[in-house]
Amino acid sequence: MKVQVLGTGCAKCKQLLANAEQAVREAGAPAEVEKVEDIQAILKFGVMTTPALAIDGKVKASGRVLSPQEIRKLLTV
């Protein structure tokens, strides 16, 4: 499983990255967490508002910081 945090490095993007890493640890999921900061790469996802979270290449949320609990639910679906 690949979890990607899409954002250019703002405070909200950093918080979403920390929450994603925490969620993966807590879930014990075999997942890789990656930060995507390249604007062109973010646009390829169709994301216009950051931060955004993608799991296995599919955008699950954009424009807000998900809590670790919300991310854990997405990991187990």
Catalytic residue, chosen from 3, 13, 16, 66, is 13
pLDDT of 77 above 80:
no
User: Catalytic: 70?
Assistant: no
Confidence class for position 47, pLDDT limits 50, 70, 90: very high
- Both tokens of 77, joined, read 């679906």
CA–CA separation, 70 and 59 (whole Å) = 14
Phi, psi torsion values for 28, nearest 5 degrees: 65, 25
pLDDT of amino acid 76? 83
User: Catalytic: 13?
Assistant: yes
Q: What are the structural domains of the chain?
A: 2-76 (3.40.30.10)
pTM for the whole structure: 0.93
Catalytic residue, chosen from 1, 2, 8, 10, is 10
Are 2 and 35 contacting, i.e. CB atoms less than 8 angstroms apart? no
Q: Please compute the mean of the pLDDT values over residues 36-53 and round it to a whole number.
A: 96
